[in-house]
Amino acid sequence: MSASALPSSTEFQGITTVDDVLQVLHVADPLWQAFTAQGGDPGQAALPRAVVIQGCVQGTLPTGEMMSAVQATHVGLVWRTCRKVVHLWAGLPEGDFVDMDPWANEPADNLKEPQQATPPQTWSRREYPRWPMWWIKQMTLSCC
């Protein structure tokens, strides 16, 4: 893995599902199940940062223990990796990806995502990026 802790560009090439991300990052099933029991699993990249934090804070492992800081960081890395995978699937340049750390020193009770410095780009119907139907189904059904 690179210095940023995210998988390398070559590791991203084989990722098509959340399960692939979990395998690349060596996330244990009980840890992931503890998170999804609280935060849900609608598609990791689509979850707001606050939901990731709350899912980790409230997640209970099968042993009855709460997640440790290391385990919560591991779940946060899954979220960050999924965000980058979706960015690359969209055909956007890797250099344009903005990596957000869910554990950055911001108030955990802030439920708003970071504000964009520039106004959002508007798309006409013809310019709007077309997502392949298999990708949309994959994102909604298999949670990545």
Compute the residue count for the chain: 144
pLDDT tens, per residue, the chain with 144 residues: 344 678 777 777 778 888 888 888 899 999 998 988 887 776 655 678 888 888 888 888 999 999 999 999 999 998 888 888 888 888 888 888 888 888 887 544 444 445 555 555 555 555 545 555 555 555 555 544
What pLDDT does residue 104 have? Answer: 82
CA torsion 59-89-142-40 (nearest 10°) is: 20
- CA quadruple 94, 95, 98, 100: dihedral positive or negative? positive
What pLDDT does residue 144 have? Answer: 46
What pLDDT does residue 108 have? Answer: 43
What pLDDT does residue 66 have? Answer: 92
Q: Where are the domains of the chain?
A: 9-111+127-141
What pLDDT does residue 1 have? Answer: 38
What pLDDT does residue 112 have? Answer: 46
Alpha helices in the chain (DSSP H): 9-12, 18-24, 29-39, 49-58, 69-89, 133-141
Give me 35's structure tokens: 């998170």
Supply the pTM of this predicted model. Answer: 0.66
Determine the 3-state secondary structure of 136 from DSSP. Answer: helix
Tell me which DSSP letter residue 94 carries. G
